Structure 1
């Protein structure tokens, strides 16, 4: 669908100045190819190019348009921290612990990186046994159906790691139907800052929650605004940035963020971070440090 939309936009009579795209299911290289010669500037967010995609594009520079920039989240680190925080909540003498993991989509870089982080964390916890990784496709219903089978196959499961909130809630429903209480019998983790996820973190049904990557779109708009003003956006000499937008959300932060969801700006003055009116050596702070809100 993204490819169809891109073809229509890039081949249409009224092309935009900018196109923000996501490398979901590996579609970015074809969109970058289609953009060559159109005059449309490209900015990649959330899912960057894979190493093999980047090599292929570099090997054929005449075939592809140039990217203005890439902003991706600290997905691998988030996957790593989620498991660490879950294990920290277990009793010290809990013995062997069974873990189930719900990854998103095999062909989505963010999903791959989150899973890689979880697997890296496993090396720190020999007592944690990863029983199975399933791909829930970011879907609540699919994760629910998968978890119905998994809870029977691995009844001793204590930890359920999920790459997003929808899959966590689907798995949670299956475990609840099997008589297991979230936050007590089984610890669940997730990534996202939806209202439902924030409420679940407040009431303890989600034991670990990471979120904040929605701001990637806002930071991209800051940089596109500056580019449109004729200001350099690769102010540190780089075009690709993996930025620390995913933050751990405790109950206090979940309560605060739930209120911020009611505000149109989510409590962030994005305009404040523009390079407009700044000295020439100004660097975007959001590229290197978490922004508190």
Structure 2
């Protein structure tokens, strides 16, 4: 555990950025699109805090509580701060297509902008342009290759369904889809990866696709209707773990057995999702992208210290997702703390490793470079 953690968390959570600035160097704000009590986005922030502490940064986290208009309010508040109180950098996402307007809000503020998790779509890029051109202080973006998550989970789901002989009378495997939302680029990319796996399979029919807004409760309600409407469907692909778990609950309420009567897939590595994968209630699970925010802080730290990432690309899309079998799930639970406390993020920084020529933000590299810790229980060591 890090000895200075209480001091950093005071800076992050109570807005004492100025008081901590001399001790921690770069000041960074994160406009978090999620909820403070939401496992995934709260976990993202915890990993970012760990990275900030390693890298000598202060971090302020502002939660938008899944309200995209609140994202703009937060951004305007940050941009309107007196110059001496503004952060050096702000990390934003393009969830629900908010990125272009956020770039407009921070234009002229003097705050460097880094976009994480989801970059602008091709249509949005016609308005934003590339980083460092129209918006000169938009220094770049880092996005997990979200197609991988959709493709890996759908392919694993199809493979297991074939092995279990779950074809309908027409000889086809019938699949239901509960996607995240229609506008977030990462959601679109996950869906694209899923559809690629379906096309390659040739024997899969998508009976119906709905959008669950990343909500467990909404997905449960939708799945109840879907199972009634499409009794031949034996596969259900979901865009995240919460929606998969909500759909599993809907099946169980009907007397079905997840892993037998219907196979489910999900994305994200919450404790409940990992347990569901290990028990067989989830047939396929992918994750690892939760740490994108922390990797963004590594790139910001290097940029601040004169190690520009431009030679690797201003808009980077990296392989971060892994398909979790039982062995990899156990490794994740055993080797990473709930807030990435066991990771030394300086090991991934070009500032601290002059011989490092390119970033490797893969889950395999992360687990390899993280010492095993036996200090926590398996449940406590689950990640978002």
The answer to whether residue 274 in structure 2 is matched with residue 203 in structure 1 is no
Partner of residue 345, structure 2: 270
Tell me how far apart the structure 2 counterparts of residues 63 and 251 of structure 1 sit (CA, whole Å): 47
1:282 aligns with one of 343, 357, 367: 357
The answer to whether residue 331 in structure 2 is matched with residue 256 in structure 1 is yes
The answer to whether residue 258 in structure 2 is matched with residue 182 in structure 1 is yes
- The count of aligned residue pairs is 291
Tell me how far apart the structure 2 counterparts of residues 24 and 277 of structure 1 sit (CA, whole Å): 32
Partner of residue 88, structure 1: 159
Mapping of 1:135-146 within 5 angstroms?
Answer: 135-146=211-222
Tell me how far apart the structure 2 counterparts of residues 86 and 267 of structure 1 sit (CA, whole Å): 32
Deviates more, 1:116-125 or 1:252-261: 252-261
2:117 aligns with one of 36, 46, 52: 46
Deviates more, 1:20-29 or 1:258-267: 258-267
Tell me how far apart the structure 1 counterparts of residues 101 and 350 of structure 2 sit (CA, whole Å): 32
Could you report, residue by residue, the CA deviation over 1:23-42 in whole angstroms, capped at 9, with x for unpaired residues?
01111111111111211010
| Cα offset, 1:76, TM superposition | 1.1
Are the structure 2 counterparts of residues 53 and 129 from structure 1 closer, same or farther at C-alpha, using a change threshold of 3 Å? Answer: same
Mapping of 1:1-293 within 5 angstroms?
Answer: 1-13=70-82, 14-58=85-129, 64-92=135-163, 94=167, 95-236=171-312, 238-260=313-335, 262-265=337-340, 267-279=342-354, 282-286=357-361, 290-293=364-367
| Cα offset, 1:58, TM superposition | 2.4
Tell me how far apart the structure 2 counterparts of residues 255 and 278 of structure 1 sit (CA, whole Å): 30
TM-score by length of 2: 0.71
CA contact (8 A) 1:37 1:65 kept: no
Deviates more, 1:30-39 or 1:128-137: 30-39
| Cα offset, 1:17, TM superposition | 0.5
Deviates more, 1:66-75 or 1:190-199: 66-75
Q: Which runs of 4+ in 1 moved over 3 A?
A: 61-66, 91-94, 259-264, 277-281
Are the structure 2 counterparts of residues 151 and 250 from structure 1 closer, same or farther at C-alpha, using a change threshold of 3 Å? Answer: same
Are the structure 2 counterparts of residues 102 and 263 from structure 1 closer, same or farther at C-alpha, using a change threshold of 3 Å? Answer: closer
| Cα offset, 1:136, TM superposition | 0.1
Unaligned runs of 5+ in 1: none
Q: 3-state DSSP class of the match of 2:161?
A: coil
TM-score by length of 1: 0.93
CA contact (8 A) 1:165 1:192 kept: yes
Unaligned runs of 5+ in 2: 1-69, 368-384
| Cα offset, 1:62, TM superposition | 7.9
Tell me how far apart the structure 2 counterparts of residues 289 and 252 of structure 1 sit (CA, whole Å): 14
Tell me how far apart the structure 1 counterparts of residues 309 and 180 of structure 2 sit (CA, whole Å): 32
